[in-house]
Structures are given as C-alpha cells and as structure tokens.
Amino acid sequence: MTAHYQPDWSPLQPGFWPDVFGNEHPVAIEVGPGLGEFLQAISQAEPTWNFFAVEQDGKRATAVQRRIDRHQLINARVVWAPAEYVLSLLPGASVDRFHIQFPDPWWKRRHHRRRLMTRAFVAELRRTLKMESTIEFVSDVEDYFAMAQELLNADPDLSEVPTSPELLATTSFARKAAARGWKISASSHRKIR
C-alpha cells in the first residue's frame, strides 16, 4: 500500500521533494485530479517523473489514493487540501510542470469568485514553477478557457507554447464533454523568466 504523504503545513524548504518521493525525479503537480484517471495514465506513461495531486474534496482525494494503491503507482501522491494553500507553502522554482484539467467553472456569476484561475493563482503557479517549465491547462467551457488564457497571457513571465497531445487523455470529464458535443481546449504556458 502506498504511504500517504502527511504534510505538517509549515512552509516547505527547497529540496523537499526527495523526502516525499524518495528520488530526485522531476515533479509535476496536478491541481484537481478528479477521479485520478489522468494521474494514473500520466504516471504510468512517464515513470521517470513524480506526480503530486492536490484535491480539495476529501472523498475524491480518498478515491484517488485508492486508485494509486490499486495500480501501485509508486511515482504518484495525493494530498487533500485547497490548491491555493498548498502552493503558498511551496518554495519558489520547485515544480517542473503543472496540470490543470477541467476546473470547476462555477457557472453562476455570483460564484465566479470561487473559480480557481485568478490573477493571484496564476502568480503562485509562476512563482513555484522552475524556469522553462510549463503550466498545462484544459477546459471544456469556452468562456472559462478564454478567461484563463487572458490571465496566463497577461503574465509577462509566461509564454504560450504548443500543447502536448497527452493533455487530452481520456477522462470521465473529457468523455462527458465529448458526449455533449463540447469542444475541449488545451494550452501550455512556459515560464521564460
């Protein structure tokens, strides 16, 4: 059974990832892993990478941990916490890649303040990202994707680059979007300074 990572929630020091994974491999963080389908697929496809998932819903985090255990994903971990809080604890330039797939669009205007993608969140992503590393973003909600692109493109330290095909790996969210006939959009932004 995979050991749960039990953070003490104090600010983390540079070089802490080997304590989490037991190796020096590059680290990708998935924000909001949902059911863990993408986490499973990418951790199996990229065994020389470590994958750290951050899920704010306790039941989903538990389901993701069960998937990690069932498939013996030795390079994957999940933590139950708000992404904004986890990022605030990370040292600068400590993450090799971020994956954000199908974040909750919070459809009602009065709930838009709950959306994950904000100017402050993008700044935290950039702060914790290593130079030349990327933020991979996927959404099936056209206006939310456009808003996220505005925020990512507005950051002068990020530059849009071509996306990777594995970003559109089949997940339950991707299947639902396809069944509805919704377009799935993806982008990649690299930290350039």
Task: Give the active site residues.
Answer: 104
In three-state form (DSSP H/G/I as H, E/B as E, the rest C), the secondary structure along the chain is: CCCCCCCCCCCCCCCCHHHHHCCCCCEEEEECCCCCHHHHHHHHHCCCCEEEEEECCHHHHHHHHHHHHHCCCCCEEEEECCHHHHHHHCCCCCEEEEEEECCCCCCCHHHHHHCCCCHHHHHHHHHHEEEEEEEEEEECCHHHHHHHHHHHHHCCCEEEECCCHHHHCCCHHHHHHHHHCCCCEEEEEEECC
